[in-house]
Amino acid sequence: MIQRPATREAGFRALLSAHQEQVYWQVRRMVHDHSTADDVVQEVFIKVYRHIGKFAKKSSLATWIYRIAHNEALSYLRTHKRHPLEDISDHHERMELMCEDPYFDADGALATLHVAIQGLPVRQKQVFCMRYFDEMPYAQIAEVLELSVGSLKASYHHASKKIESSLRESIT
């Protein structure tokens, strides 16, 4: 009997190792703060540990964990009354300073993209980040967000167009 907890602990460590970084970045894109993201990720894996026996295997383990992370991040935002979108005007001056160099500035380009993403409605932002950054297939995103694939494709399309428009405005 002594080995069973060690086996469960080893299994959980392997699960943590396999999924922690992806979960962190998923949460971080929603809460925008490193220490808050760490706290939310910790809560995610506590829930995973406590409820792994209830995993129904209706989806992949990664999808199940991603769904828990998504719900925990939204719960955090609701509890702390934080809107998941930041005010773009707060970033405007920083962006101008980053983009003054006449040569390509990867950090500036990334900052510009980040601001464009922050300007999206919540659902479009979620879909765009999962598809673009995490390269998740639409079917998996549909499981995580509990939406149809068609609506996700429409959200991604609208998000892409809004980001493209925002990036064009920042260039001019």
Terminal CA-CA length for the chain? 68
The closest of 63, 85, 75, 58 to 136, measured between CA atoms, is: 63
3-state secondary structure of 91: helix
Two tokens at 113? 């993209």
Distance CA 19, CA 27 (A): 12
Q: How far is CA 101 from the centre of its chain?
A: 30
| Fold agreement (3-79, 89-171) | no
Q: Evaluate if residue 45 carries a pLDDT over 90.
A: yes
Domain borders along the chain are 3-79, 89-171
Distance CA 117, CA 51 (A): 33
Instruction: Report which residue type is found at 49.
Output: Y
CATH of 3-79, one of 1.10.1740.10, 1.20.120.1200, 1.10.10.10, 3.30.300.30: 1.10.1740.10
How does residue 1 score in pLDDT terms, banded at 50, 70 and 90?
very low
Q: Evaluate if residue 88 carries a pLDDT over 50.
A: no
Q: Are 43 and 72 in contact (CB under 8 A)?
A: yes
Two tokens at 94? 């920083």
Distance CA 73, CA 69 (A): 6
For tokens 């995993």, the residue is 55
List, for residues 19-31, the tens digit of each pLDDT value: 999 999 888 888 8
How does residue 86 score in pLDDT terms, banded at 50, 70 and 90?
very low
| Cβ within 8 Å of residue 39, ≥6 positions away | 76
| Cβ within 8 Å of residue 17, ≥6 positions away | none
User: In the CATH scheme, what architecture does the domain 89-171 have?
Assistant: Orthogonal Bundle (1.10)
